[in-house]
Structure 1
């Protein structure tokens, strides 16, 4: 093993150097649309995505442990799972910036720091995704979180936005404290920080189980804060509603890949022998999130706030995929749940990008378009926009043939095929709560097609670039629902490679 192996972190090095260079170049950019800064950022993200995609293909071509390469003295790991998540995160950030640019430009918020901070968010996400050590996970988490706190407060002269940023900062710091305290307890119990070494010591069975269980409780609580699931969801609705919509999309999209990555790295790769403990916690978090998230969403009149509660419920559904076959020796059986959860995260972020991108597109008409009533009669004013929004709402509701249906089906299948009565009961509960969720998603469709327009005027128009991206986004949600096998097989392959490595 090469003790340093800088090639393992070459995409992160490229991203860091480019972020610093673009920050300096932007000082000399006078164009209010920030054309040079925008395209340099997009070029960097495309290069980083290509580097991760090629590394993922190389990893999948290897067999067994050869698919995982360690570097920086074992602090980071390069494996197909990490490269898939990093590729998706880079592409998601490219779409986020493309959606956000017109929205921020009209509000005089399109500054160089937005692009720089967004790249540092991705850098923090990438560090967490490739982390093989508790401290590296924490460093990546703080890099991502601090950048997001600053972005949430980007609209300094807006009271609601500033309040949202404060809440996000205070509760985010609390979550980081929970996570760090859990890590410290595990370090105190095992004397190790590297995840493989922690796994080996815990599997030996010589550690005080009480200390380990307490450490796991704090770790799961910290992860639940970052995922925004019940009962650690307090910040999600306020931040989603109060932050500028571009920042809301930044918070609701790319970081979800990092949350899944650290949950998998810590719980599955590091603490799978304690699966019986954290498995039950995830079940409780999942059911509570689906229940409270869906019920609270019904009562919302603000579209962003409704999507915030929707996100809580959706991530609760995703957590179900991490619960089955946690400590089973059969790798193939274990991969069913993990791969379905990974597929769910990827497709959920895809749908979230389009949903908030469409809100920003409508907001360009001189109002924020944050209320559900703002969508009244949208089908008469802009039929194709209403059609794309319908695709996203059907996908989130799990209506076939949208990709959201297959994502939910994959998770439910992973639960039912275990043959365990507990998992079958969980699957039934998830289906029933999904029926509740269908109400508020279909309400959006009803408002767009059957309510009278809330305002008069010409049909809505949009820039060709944003329109093309939105159409591509909607087409992806539909095509991946009709032909999900390729992405599902890729998710399964990278999970199997991670479990074997």
Structure 2
């Protein structure tokens, strides 16, 4: 029997679903090219959902509902807050771009964004394998449709087909792994699976077989090597507004389900899955950074940059359990959470610049399109430079502190192997600095191709300026966000 608590636990999801339906009905009567009413109602809904999730997060409580199939805890609620803000900022940046490319004939962009966010919410709230899978499918199906939203564009349609085929394969991996774990443990409940694995009565070989498929599915969602094939093609082929939708909020969801499945569900198998994560992290850092150097397309370069950045996140996840001791877990997992949140913040500003430049009538996808940007718009060039320096890990920007936090977690393990991984990560970051600094060089030292000035609505400029300022301010004063991440991880692991 369902009680009031169950519906209270999923209040943000219920609000988001109901308002998505309301927005769909309201949009039927909207005739304006910019879908002003739909846009305003969507942002108001997302702001309300973010506030409600933040209220839940600040209570610090862990509540279960629907027979322990869903959970409301600080980690999940803060990830919901950050994901909602990311979608809001994406819509602010992407609306002018979408309008110019006839992508706002209906309210699909706003509706699909809300449904993909609902999928993220379901994923990070799940305490059951099937609920995770349901959330994942809601997110991915919405994402496939978003990539193909520009129906008259061959490149976008091709990207959507590639994403669909590879995404279906990854979902199959994850579902097959879940079925193996269900067969071995007899339960789909994450806490029950944890207890069953910890009992030691289940054949280790069966568990590891299922674990391999689960990690493969997670690696695809995180974009880790060798499951990264979709990222460069989809980032380049999708409309830029959709690329940002795929590259920001869903990364938070991937981190959330990695914590749910691996840490909360399969910590007794940490020795096995950490070895797999180390291989994924090393491959991602190596392939991501080396491949990005060869790119001339800005979106494709940022796709390989994403792969390399995810290598750092995975390193943090791989350093929590050392020699049977979980004392390093809170530092490692909170460092990973801090890294993914600040990476999403930086990605929003980076693609925001690309979106605003693309409004001149061309896509502004090549690195050479940024030539002389400082002479045309010092504000945009400054924000882009701050983002590039942050992604490269140059102090005092937030990317430096994020990398430092992960490296400290690796070194704190006290193991020579993890210290070696930290050194490898530093070397890869030095290589990666080349392609980030190349963008800065093009903006400040190359002659502009066009004399056209860059303009944008006042509220978009304000959001972009705040976005860029946060990248700097959180690098100088990272303590508050780091403490929030640490507190969320500690409270969640304690339950």
Fold shared per TM-score above 0.5: yes
Q: How does 1:197-212 map to 2 (within 5 A)?
A: 197-212=192-207
Q: Which residue of 2 aligns with 1:477?
A: 471
Q: Does 1:19 align with 2:20?
A: yes
Q: Which residue of 2 aligns with 1:81?
A: 75
Moved more, 330-339 or 100-109: 330-339
Of the candidates 87, 92, 95, which is equivalent to residue 93 of structure 1? 87
Of the candidates 85, 103, 107, which is equivalent to residue 109 of structure 1? 103
Q: Which residue of 1 aligns with 2:59?
A: 58
Q: Which residue of 1 aligns with 2:335?
A: 340
- How many corresponding residue pairs? 493
Unmatched runs of 5 consecutive residues or more in structure 2: none
Of the candidates 226, 231, 248, which is equivalent to residue 236 of structure 1? 231
Query: Residue 384 of structure 1: CA displacement?
Result: 1.3
Q: Which residue of 2 aligns with 1:40?
A: 41
The TM-score, its normalising length taken from structure 1, stands at: 0.97
Distance 1:211 1:458 in 2: 62
Change (3 A) 1:284 1:197: same
- The answer as to whether partners of 1:275 and 1:327 remain within 8 angstroms in 2 is no
Q: Does 1:424 align with 2:419?
A: yes
Distance 2:2 2:32 in 1: 46
- The answer as to whether partners of 2:197 and 2:266 remain within 8 angstroms in 1 is yes
* Local SS of the residue matching 2:333: helix
* Local SS of the residue matching 2:291: helix
Unmatched runs of 5 consecutive residues or more in structure 1: 60-66
* Local SS of the residue matching 1:277: helix
Distance 2:427 2:9 in 1: 45
Query: Residue 472 of structure 1: CA displacement?
Result: 0.5
Query: Residue 328 of structure 1: CA displacement?
Result: 6.5
Q: Which residue of 1 aligns with 2:255?
A: 260
Q: Which residue of 1 aligns with 2:431?
A: 436
Moved more, 40-49 or 316-325: 316-325
Q: How does 1:462-501 map to 2 (within 5 A)?
A: 462-501=456-495
Moved more, 4-13 or 267-276: 4-13
* Local SS of the residue matching 1:86: helix
| Cα displacement string for residues 47-106 of structure 1 (whole angstroms, at most 9, x for unaligned residues) | 1000110111112xxxxxxx3110011100010000000000011110000001010011
Distance 2:117 2:322 in 1: 32
Q: Which residue of 1 aligns with 2:387?
A: 392
Q: Which residue of 2 aligns with 1:412?
A: 407
- The answer as to whether partners of 1:26 and 1:37 remain within 8 angstroms in 2 is yes
Query: Residue 459 of structure 1: CA displacement?
Result: 2.2
Query: Residue 126 of structure 1: CA displacement?
Result: 0.1
Distance 1:327 1:125 in 2: 30
Distance 1:31 1:462 in 2: 19
Query: Residue 227 of structure 1: CA displacement?
Result: 0.9
Q: Which residue of 2 aligns with 1:350?
A: 345
Distance 2:240 2:279 in 1: 31
Q: How does 1:99-178 map to 2 (within 5 A)?
A: 99-110=93-104, 111-178=106-173
Query: Residue 333 of structure 1: CA displacement?
Result: 2.4
Distance 1:242 1:205 in 2: 48
* Local SS of the residue matching 1:77: strand
- The answer as to whether partners of 1:332 and 1:496 remain within 8 angstroms in 2 is no
Q: Which residue of 2 aligns with 1:187?
A: 182
Distance 1:420 1:40 in 2: 52
Tell me the C-alpha RMSD between the 2 structures.
1.1
